Structures are given as structure tokens and as C-alpha cells.
Structure 1
Amino acid sequence: MSDKRLKEHIASTSMTRYGQPSKELQLKAVENLINGRNTFVLAGTGFGKSRIAELFHRMIPDETGAVILVLNPLDSLGDNQVAEKKAAGFTTINLTKLKFNLQTAKEISNGDYQFVYLSPEIFLNSKLFETVYYSPKFQKRLALIVVDEAHMIWIWGLVESGAPGKSISAHFRHEDYGIFRPSYGKLGPQLLFRNDAPLLLLSATCRPVAVEAIKKSLKLTDDNVDMLHAELT
């Protein structure tokens, strides 16, 4: 399928599913992901970044049992996004320490959930999730990894490197204080172990120095990640 026909197909699917046209940047991001390109979307709050992963999943044949993994910094954010995805017709779960058990791990491996939300702590520190994530069965289903609030990778990298407090605080939004965890600064090595599933990085606020640091942390170069910019907050 040509790029033009692919974009038309994505746009048509969006119109059918949501009753409104997608933004050009949303279409471009989905097109990139279908072509296996890592994509970093910088767009303001309310832009519709979460719809990108939804549209991407709708392009995948149902019989593949594709799973999209979404890393986000707060359980409450995951709860909100789970409600949003369920309303859009997806099967989804927000993993928390209280909810994650052997039965849930089995359900995830079996592809019962199209979207799996989890914190970086579970992604990095849960032995049970590690068993699921590294299994060939799950890796075969893994279609995309989304990192929400991607700027936190850089901020917590500064924290762990011992950067002076003033230089760190200069990059925090008020709502970032006290709710994010240093685990976001340690995501790189584990994200590097995956099948050919692309990465989708999302942020509403990310300075150029932060973008470069994040790319370095995740071993991304200008050749293997596409930067898509919209209006930032």
C-alpha cells in the first residue's frame, strides 16, 4: 500500500470510528508506527495524543491479538485512560501492585487485553511482569510501547545523576512535583529489549536538551526516530 493510500485508509478509519477527521500529525504518527518507525510526539494537552495508539491498534488485524503497552507515571492516570479505552471499545487493564497477580499475568500473556497500562515501577521491578514481558509469547503479541509524559525520563535522569536542585526544579511543571518516580530515569535498558515493536513517546512539554537526553537514554538517533511537533503547553 502506498503512503498516500495508507494515510487515506487511516483517515477513513478515524472518521468511521470517531465521526470526525484526524489531525494531520495524528495521521502521520500512525503512518510512522505502521511502518515500524519510532515516533516522538510533542503536542499540547488536549491535542489528542492518546488517539494515536488507538488508531494504530485499529490498523492491526484482530486475529493477531496485538497488545499495546503504555507506561505512565500515575495509577490515577492509568485509571482514566482505561475508562477512555473501554469507552472506545478496547479491552484494557491498569496494572497496579494490588491488581497484578498470576491470573492477571496469564490473561496478559493470552492477549486478553489490547491495552495494558502500568507504572515504570512495575515495568522495571516486578519479577512477575518480567516473566510476562520477556516471554516469546508476549513479545509476539507486543505491537507498540507507549511512554506517556516522556519528559520524565530526562527529569529523573537528572535527579539520579545528582544534578543541583535548582537546575532540576527549573524543568518541573507544578503538577510534576511529588507525583513522579525516579524509575522513569531507568527505562532505557529494558525498553531496548523488545521485538521490532516501535516506541511512541508522548509529551506536552519537552525542551530540546531534554529531547536529546531522552534519545540518548533510549539509544535513539535521528535515523531511527521521527520527531513530530504540534503546539506545546
Structure 2
Amino acid sequence: PWSDEVCEVLKSRFKMKGFRENQFQAINATLSGKDCFVLMPTGGGKSLTYQLPAVIQSGATKGVTVVVSPLLSLMEDQVQHLSKLGVFAFLINGDTPREDRDRIMDGLWKSNVEDFIQLLYVTPEMLGKSEKMLRAFDGLHRRRKFARLVIDEAHCVSQWGHDFRPDYKNIGEVRVRYPGVPMMALTATATSRVKDDTIHNLGMEKHGENRCQVFTQSFNRENLYYEVRPKSKGSQDVAAIASLIKESHAKETGIVYCLSRKNCEDIAASLAKDHGIRATHYHAGLEGPAKAAVQQEWQAGHIKVIVATIAFGMGIDKSNVRFVIHHSIPKSLEGYYQETGRAGRDGKPSRCYLFYGYGDAGKLRRMIDDPKNEGSREVKDMQHQMLRKMVQYCENKSDCRRVQVLAYFNERFNAEDCDGGCDNCLSESTYEEIDLTAEAKKAVDLVRKIRKDKVTLLHCIDVFRGASNTKAKAKKHVELDEAGAGSHLNRGDVERLFYQMIGEEALVE
């Protein structure tokens, strides 16, 4: 019954000509009062699936659409954008001035609330801790003015996701508090396990006619090119990034992802001072006004390169990002997919580079095992497994990058369709498959014999290749039968053999 109104609002209010894949179906489902799980790749148009229904008052449920999101910058962006389109959209978070918050809260109690507030964005923390807000939502529910509850970045609900957030776990309880209010969960990245866990945790597992409607589509981003490059030592890594930007992306907009806040600050400073690139850092430690200033400068194009932490969800909807560079490997292929997905949202060709050094994997392993890192042993084991898959992706120099990434999301892809869209498909190198089972067994035997001497991975590789350096002689490692068992292989192949065995857990670092 609302189809005509939906199409009219799309054109008149949102200034769009037509729907993308699954948008109309998801909008129709939520307006029918059904629960929905919407999985769309970055740039697929997830936001419209709840922003447009918020304006329609002829659906099965009416009133206010409440959106829960962890990404402050994205929420601020969207509220500004929607306000310009004439949509009554507001945001409440910890930084909202008291008078603004009081005005919004008063609006929620009005009998014709939809004439004042159509969309309300809140953080998961506010939803869990603000009793005043929950009382206002109770009032909406009683008056049948709670149109729907939308969970953005829904993978944060699942402990198996790459970005689990404890505050998100409580959203399921909020769901129980408001029976009859349809829920919509959205994400750009979720494996089958994360999807099922999210639906379960949010209490969306209904059966029969009321079952949760799931909308998924291909994860393939056709306009993105993927490449892995070896990482240089010391300050040379920044020089390599700078020359890449200058040679291939001069005057273009991009993001560089780093492992830590300090990395961000150092690399941004070096790119700007030593290499003349208009770059600045952006991470969770910045004060609100500083963040807003950086965002505005970047959106306006005054800053060309943002250097950000991997852990920080930028959530900035900038469509013309032409390149994403990872200075260090992400913790998982899910994270990598989401971060590279910030490139080329306008559909134009864009490039994704990952600078890979095995040492970064060691740092991430230590971060996972750090006692300060909350999580059960089971969760930490899962994080190690995700990291191993990320390392295998970087070490793999022969298989199509797209095939590898999409396989992680249980999607099959024909490498011929990549059409030069990654470094491995473009490479003219030929690789020969050889059986190294015998060498692998000897490598394990060698490590078993010398591990009591507290040796490093590099020392094991040296001894295996037959090096007779001072340490190897002093510890009498050169006299072992397995010493030199890999002397017929080049160093790169031996390193890959050891890394692969660590990846398969035949060895543990």
C-alpha cells in the first residue's frame, strides 16, 4: 500500500532516481513491521533502507525510528545531511549539550512526535545507561509511536565478529522491553557465523510468518584493485608510502591505516613534513572539536590523506576516496574488507595497498594474548584464527586476491572475472607447486630440539638454512642433524614454510 509513497519520497525528498539491489525489498519488509537483517557491501546504500521508511507514516508501525550506531562521525554527518533534505533527524550522545538533549527528550513526549522527530540516532552506551531515555522510549511504545529500532554496524553484537563491542550485547534486552517494535540490523561485513550469532543475540529468531527477513548480496567490489607489497624496515616504510601516493595518487584523497595512535601521529607528521603531502592523523584519542575540524577539512578537500587507527571506525561517508593503504596488517580479513571498502564508494576505480611485514603479525598476536585484552580463551583463539587467515592472504602470491577474500565470506568467485583487479592476477610470475612435507617435518624436529634455548623464529630459520653464526655455534645448534636441512631452498621459501606452519599451528611462536 505504501509503494507509491516510497517511490515518490525517493525522488522528491532523497533526490534519487532508483533503488539499488535489495533496497526496495528491505524498505518494504520494515514498513510491513518485519524484522530484517541487511548485509550490503560498503557503498551499497544501507542507510537509505532505514532513512526512507522513517519519513513514511503509512507503514504497519509509525512514529520515531531509533538508530543505534557506534560511529559518532557518521551519525553527525547523516544528521546534517538529512536535515538539509528536510528530514527531522537528531542525535544524542555523551557530548550533546544539555539544552539540546532536553529539547529532544521533550519532543519524544509530544503526542504528534513524528512532526518533530522522525529519526533519532543514539550510541549503544546511551541506550544502555540512560534511564531517562528508556522512559521516553517506554512512552513512545505505549502510544504506538516507536516505529522501529535500527542497529547499524550490527556485527558489533557478535563476539565472533571482528569488532565486538560489549555495549552492543545489551541491545537484545532493549528488544525484549519493546515487543512488537520491528528491528533492522545492518552491516557491511559478516560471515555466516556472525550473521546467525547477531540474529540470535538481538532476539530476531522468530519462526513462521514473522521470521526475520535476511537480505544479502555479493561482497565483490568490482571497482577496487587489491595489492600486497613487502614492508620496508624503519623509516623507509613511510618513504615507500609517500612515493606511492606521489607517483600514483597525487592530489587524490586517501586513507592510511596504522596499528597504533602513535604510529598514526608519527606517519602523518612525516608525510606532511618530510614529503610535502597534505596529511593529518585521526584516532579515538582526539578531542571532539579536533575530530570535527579534521573531518570538515577532509570533507572539503583541504586535507588529502587521513592517517587513522585500524580500530577506529571512521564512518565518514566520503565517496571519492581513491586509495586505502594499510601500513600494517589488519587483525582479520573482515576488518580488511571493511577498511578497504571505504575506497571508491562512488563506483569509480580505486586502489587498495597492504604493506606486509611478518613482524606486524607478531605484534598483533601479543595484543590478542595481552591480559588487558578482555575476552574468553575461546574468543582469543578465534582472534588468532582470524589473524592466521589474514597472514595466509598476505603470504599467498599466486591465488587471486578476490577469490581469497570472497571465499572467507563463503562466496565463490571465478578468478578469470577479476580481470587484472589484483596484483596476483596481473603478475606474470609462474609458481611451481613442490612438496615440502619432508622439510616441514625436519623443521618441526629442529624447533623441538632447540626451543629450550629460548630461540627466535629468525634463529630457527637461520639454523634450518645451514647458517653457522656465533649463536648457532655457541649453542651447538650447527651440530644437529636438522641443521642445514633447508639449505637447498632460498630464504624467502624457508620463511614462507615456517610462517605457513605457524599459520597451521604446527609451530607456535
**Fold match by TM threshold 0.5:** yes
Partner of 2:31: 34
| Cα distance change of structure 1 residues 191 and 129 upon mapping to structure 2, 3 Å threshold | same
CA spacing shift, 1:102–1:7, aligned 2, 3 Å:
closer
Does 2:197 match 1:213? yes
* Counterparts in 2 of 1:208 and 1:65: CA distance versus 1, 3 Å: closer
2:364 matched to which residue of 1?
Answer: none
Alignment of 1:14-93 (within 5 A): 14-17=10-13, 18-61=15-58, 66-93=63-90
Is 1:231 aligned with 2:218? yes
* Deviates further, 220-229 or 27-36: 220-229
**In the alignment, which residue of structure 1 is the partner of 2:106?**
106
Which residue in the other structure is 2:6 paired with? Answer: 10
Distance 1:65 1:59, change over 3 A: closer
Q: Distance in 2 between matches of 1:32 and 1:22?
A: 15
RMSD: 2.5
Instruction: Assess if the C-alpha contact under 8 Å between 2:65 and 2:150 holds in 1.
Output: yes
Between 1:222-231 and 1:205-214, the stretch displaced more is 222-231
Q: Matched residues in 1 for 2:142 and 2:118: separation?
A: 12
* Distance change in 2, residues 1:137/1:31 (3 Å): closer
Native 8 Å contact 2:65 2:148 kept in 1: yes
Structure 1 residue 7 displacement after superposition: 4.2
The equivalent of 1:187 in structure 2 is: 171
Could you tell which deviates more after superposition, 87-96 or 190-199? Answer: 190-199
Alpha-carbon distance in 2 for matches of 1:94, 1:30? 22
Note the 1:194-205 alignment, pairs <5 A. Answer: 194-205=178-189
Larger radius of gyration: 2
Query: For residues 69 and 28 of structure 1, what CA distance do their matches in structure 2 show?
Result: 20
Pair 231,138 (structure 1): closer, same or farther in 2 beyond 3 Å: farther
TM-superposed deviation, 1:97:
2.1
Mapped pair 1:146 → 2:143:
no
Instruction: Give 1:41 shift.
Output: 0.6
- Distance in 1 separating the partners of 2:155 and 2:81: 23
Paired letter, 1:215: I
Q: Does 1:125 find its partner at 2:135?
A: no
- Is the Cα–Cα contact under 8 Å of residues 38 and 186 in structure 2 kept in the other structure? yes
Q: CA deviation at 1:146?
A: 0.8
Give, in angstroms, the shift of residue 215 of structure 1.
1.5
CA contact (8 A) 1:132 1:138 kept: no
Deviates more, 1:65-74 or 1:132-141: 132-141
Instruction: Report the alpha carbon displacement of residue 134 of structure 1 after superposing the two structures with TM.
Output: 1.7
Give 5+ residue unaligned stretches, structure 1.
159-167
SS state of the match for residue 95, structure 2? Answer: coil
Deviation at 1:153, TM superposition (A): 0.3
| Contact 1:139/1:194 (<8 A) preserved | no
CA contact (8 A) 1:68 1:144 kept: yes
Deviation of 1:130 after TM superposition, in Å, equals 1.9
**Counterpart code for 1:211:** K
Per-residue displacement from partner, 1:196-218 (whole Å, max 9, x unpaired)? 22111110001111111112112
Deviations 1:125-144 (A, max 9, x none): 11211221222567521111
CA distance in 1 between partners of 2:58 and 2:198 (Å): 32
Whichever residue aligns with residue 74 of structure 1, its letter is: L
Q: Which amino acid aligns with 2:48?
A: R
Report the Cα offset of residue 150 of structure 1. Answer: 0.2
Q: CA separation in 1, counterparts of 2:194 and 2:12?
A: 37
Structure 2 residues not aligned, in runs of 5+: 220-336, 338-509
Structure 1 residues 136 and 20, CA gap change in structure 2 (3 angstroms): closer
1: CA distance between counterparts of 2:70 and 2:198? 16
How does the TM-score come out when normalised to structure 2?
A: 0.38
Structure 2 counterpart SS, 1:145: strand
Q: CA deviation at 1:15?
A: 3.3
Post-superposition Cα deviations, 1:76-109, rounded to whole Å, max 9, x if no partner, equal 2211121121122111111012325444311222
Is contact 2:175-2:203 (8 Å) kept? no
Corresponding letter in the other structure for 1:221? E
The aligned amino acid for 1:192 is: V
TM-aligned CA distance change 1:220 to 1:195, over 3 Å: closer
The structure-2 alpha-carbon separation of the partners of 1:136 and 1:10, relative to structure 1 and needing over 3 Å to count, comes to closer
Q: TM-score, normalised by structure 1?
A: 0.79
Q: Is the 8 A contact 1:67 1:115 kept in 2?
A: yes
Higher relative contact order (CA 8 A, sep 6+): 1
